[in-house]
Structure 1
Amino acid sequence: MDAVTIEPTSASSSRANKAILTIALAQLFGTSLWFSANGAMRELQIAWSLSALDIGLLTNAVQIGFIVGTLISALTGMADKYSAAKLFCYCAITGAIFNALFALFSGGVMSAVILRLGVGISLAGIYPLGMKLLGTWAPQRAAQSLALLVAMLTLGTSSTHAVRAYLPNLDYEMLVLASSALALGASVMVGLLGDGPYTRSRSAGKVELGAVLDVFRIKKFRAAALGYFGHMWELYAFWTLTPLLVLNAFKGISNSPQIIALWSFIVIGVGAVGCVIGGRLSQYVGSGYTALAALSLSGAMCLLYPFVSQMSTEIQLSVLLIWGLAVIADSPQFSALSVQACPPDQVGGGTNNSK
């Protein structure tokens, strides 16, 4: 049976607010693993004599791992069979371990790629499960909470650059280990919180693998998913290249690692504001139009950048800030559109057939 409907009271509302804040902070800490290596890329490039191809492999390993992890979750129905809070905890701990092994024992590209792949697989149990966990605490506020969650993902992604900016002499091993410590903190926070009162009954039946693929027959879901796919290509390309784009903006003025790291944090982190603005805008014009506006603005900055890349530092930084604001703002809206188009019993992971 489904969870019992609970009448909202001031006490339950206050508890839900605390839960949303806890999950959001845990998301921030947990997703710091995502680009933990990028903040140390300069040191790794020198220490390991990395080529452009090597840097691409190291960065894409996390994204590939995330895709593999989400496919495993969807095809096995793990998110429907087990506690979202427990899965989040286990994945945060696993991600922290893979990340720490990368910092302490990786001595070259191949070992680094394997360990970063493990980090990516683990992140598939942090970001999506954080969304599912929110639904167990405040399903009636899903759209607003989702925007907050993606905002925390954005800050978590940029956190390594912030640490590098304020601790420029910190060894890259310690920089990466700091992300592992944050991920362990996220595990403790969610472990103490647990699942919310709106948790659906878990399916113990056989997983129907075809049900996952059947979702793509739904036109609206397919449109949202493909739009999300294109958005993610641009998003992670931009976030990966941000330090290089910032370095280009300061060419001839400064190449201080501290300044580059600080502005990389600002350019990526401003996306959190974009998520909040997008969340508010969607209440008036809907998620579809909000996603279209953000994607159009981001695409326009992408097309404009080559023409301003040799202009003044101020102009380049202005374009990068607008780009950073818009590039992630459509992400929660695509998620919301996907949830709206997807059958309720298949939201959050696999194929929950419970009635």
Structure 2
Amino acid sequence: MKLISSRSALILIVIAQFLGTSLWFAGNAVAPEIGALLGEPELIASITSTVQFGFIIGTFFYAFFAIPDRFPPGDVFFFSAVLAACFNILVVLLPFQLPYILFCRFLVGFFLAGIYPVGMKIAADYFEKGLGAALGFLVGALVLGTAFPHLINGLGLQLSWKIIFWITSALAILGGALVGFFVPDGPYRKSNPKFDVSLLPKLSKINALKSAASGYFGHMWELYTFWAFAPMVIAFLSEGSFSSSKISLLSFSVIAIGGISCAVGGVISQKTGSKKVALFSLLGSGVCCIFLVIAPSVPSSIWMIFLLIWGILVTADSPQFSTLVSQSVPAEFKGTALTLVNSMGFALSIVSIQFAQLLLTWLPIDQALALLVVGPLTGILLFRFFAKKKRPQPEAS
């Protein structure tokens, strides 16, 4: 396949990433309708958690066998997108029962492991410099996909759940084809053809990787819990004066603005470096956690602006920490490192969501989410701790 410019590759990867990860949020958009048909009104939590759990298992599987580094990443992206799309559409074709739905959504999450982190790995193969900006656009596309179900709910669009699954499956296959057929291996890709069972322990000894991963974990402790409870926070702060559609539209704005901040932060990182952007965003979002405690006492115009600022800061560090992860390991281990860190970060996000849910038994939501500051604070401290410890990276085999 003929080489293409890094700019063209990035455009195709961003589009393909958005199309492929539409599978992730298809279940969120139609969960209320499916729940009503099945007599399970609280189904959205089960569907969301099942996809997340599948993604965690999938990313660990891909990382353990070093799939993104041992095989052409474009092929991995393509076949993962096709398989994820097939299991997504099986929700429509199989008997309409909850176990089948959850099983298929689990496998959608599993094969999404070959789309999101592998897309970042492909971008890393094209950008030796400016990777922070490239990943900013990639993660921004994922963030917009996350916000999309809230927009559908806010606009009151009455789309059949079956149509949503058919459309997202078709989009995912199209996205996979864009990368599989039109994005060749990047000029900075180095293959790691051997399966090495000791690779993950070797990577765990790289302090630069541990530093970047620590910051990413602190970010993930906060991010998905903030997103998950954003509608509840808005309802709490509005004291019941906002309609459900207004809450959904504001939730969309709070999450979607993070997609813009990912791209803007990426551009800024070209001048300041990924480290400064990541740490500034992580510190700023930690401050927002604390500010949430006093948000109920300020006018609605103030707390709405505050939530938008939080939405900006809570996301902008994600692509920059991923950039630091990619830069911390030899080129032939980039895919494995990115996939492994993704796996651990998403696992941590589930723990955080469940912990916040538990805290709501005793605390109002503003105080419960204020405690999310533990994530950014710990992430910053561990980032600096491991960054100070110098140890040479293991040589590639």
**What TM-score results when the alignment is normalised by the length of structure 2?**
0.76
Residue correspondence of structure 1 range 195-344 to structure 2 within 5 A: 195-198=184-187, 200=189, 202-205=191-194, 207-248=195-236, 252-257=240-245, 259-309=246-296, 312-344=299-331
Residues 129 and 348, structure 1, Cα contact 8 Å, conserved in 2: yes
Alpha-carbon offset, residue 130 of structure 1: 0.7
Q: Residue in 2 aligned with 1:38?
A: 28
SS in 1 for 2:204: helix
Residues 50 and 102, structure 2, Cα contact 8 Å, conserved in 1: yes
Structure 2 residue 66 is matched with structure 1 residue 66: no
Residues 23 and 85, structure 2, Cα contact 8 Å, conserved in 1: yes
Alpha-carbon offset, residue 330 of structure 1: 0.7
Q: Residue in 2 aligned with 1:131?
A: 120
- Summarize deviations over 1:151-191 as a string: whole Å, max 9, x none: 11111222333344446222333334432232122112212
CA distance in 2 between counterparts of 1:211 and 1:289 reads: 30
Residues 163 and 175, structure 1, Cα contact 8 Å, conserved in 2: no
CA distance in 1 between counterparts of 2:250 and 2:274 reads: 30
CA distance in 1 between counterparts of 2:23 and 2:298 reads: 34
- 5+ residue gaps, structure 1: 1-11
SS in 1 for 2:7: helix
CA distance in 1 between counterparts of 2:38 and 2:309 reads: 34
CA distance in 1 between counterparts of 2:28 and 2:196 reads: 39
Alpha-carbon offset, residue 296 of structure 1: 1.7
Residues 139 and 198, structure 1, Cα contact 8 Å, conserved in 2: no
Q: Residue in 2 aligned with 1:28?
A: 18
Residues 290 and 330, structure 1, Cα contact 8 Å, conserved in 2: yes
Alpha-carbon offset, residue 138 of structure 1: 3.5
Structure 1 residues 299, 40: closer, same or farther in 2, change over 3 A?
A: farther
SS in 1 for 2:313: helix
Structure 2 residue 74 is matched with structure 1 residue 85: yes
CA distance in 2 between counterparts of 1:25 and 1:168 reads: 24
Structure 1 residues 111, 69: closer, same or farther in 2, change over 3 A?
A: same
- Summarize deviations over 1:116-165 as a string: whole Å, max 9, x none: 22121111100111112223334333222111111111112223333444
Structure 1 residues 308, 50: closer, same or farther in 2, change over 3 A?
A: farther
Residues 78 and 349, structure 1, Cα contact 8 Å, conserved in 2: yes
Alpha-carbon offset, residue 266 of structure 1: 1.7
Q: Residue in 2 aligned with 1:193?
A: 182
Q: Residue in 1 aligned with 2:370?
A: none
Residues 135 and 198, structure 1, Cα contact 8 Å, conserved in 2: no
Residues 61 and 117, structure 1, Cα contact 8 Å, conserved in 2: yes
**What TM-score results when the alignment is normalised by the length of structure 1?**
0.84
Alpha-carbon offset, residue 312 of structure 1: 4.6
Amino acid corresponding to residue 304 of structure 1 in structure 2:
F
The alignment-based identity, stated in percent, is: 34
Q: Residue in 2 aligned with 1:180?
A: 169
Deviates more, 1:117-126 or 1:102-111: 102-111
CA distance in 2 between counterparts of 1:116 and 1:72 reads: 17
CA distance in 1 between counterparts of 2:86 and 2:132 reads: 32
- 5+ residue gaps, structure 2: 341-394
CA RMSD of aligned residues (A): 3.0
Amino acid corresponding to residue 66 of structure 2 in structure 1:
G
Residues 231 and 295, structure 1, Cα contact 8 Å, conserved in 2: yes
Alpha-carbon offset, residue 59 of structure 1: 1.9
Residues 84 and 108, structure 2, Cα contact 8 Å, conserved in 1: yes
Structure 1 residues 40, 280: closer, same or farther in 2, change over 3 A?
A: same
Amino acid corresponding to residue 17 of structure 2 in structure 1:
Q
Structure 1 residues 139, 223: closer, same or farther in 2, change over 3 A?
A: closer
Q: Residue in 2 aligned with 1:76?
A: 65
Structure 1 residues 231, 340: closer, same or farther in 2, change over 3 A?
A: same
SS in 1 for 2:46: helix
Q: Say which of 108, 130, 139 aligns to 1:150.
A: 139
Q: How many residues align?
A: 341
Alpha-carbon offset, residue 248 of structure 1: 4.2
CA distance in 2 between counterparts of 1:90 and 1:261 reads: 34
Q: Residue in 1 aligned with 2:358?
A: none
SS in 2 for 1:326: helix
Q: Residue in 2 aligned with 1:8?
A: none
Q: Say which of 9, 15, 18 aligns to 1:19.
A: 9
Structure 1 residues 313, 174: closer, same or farther in 2, change over 3 A?
A: farther
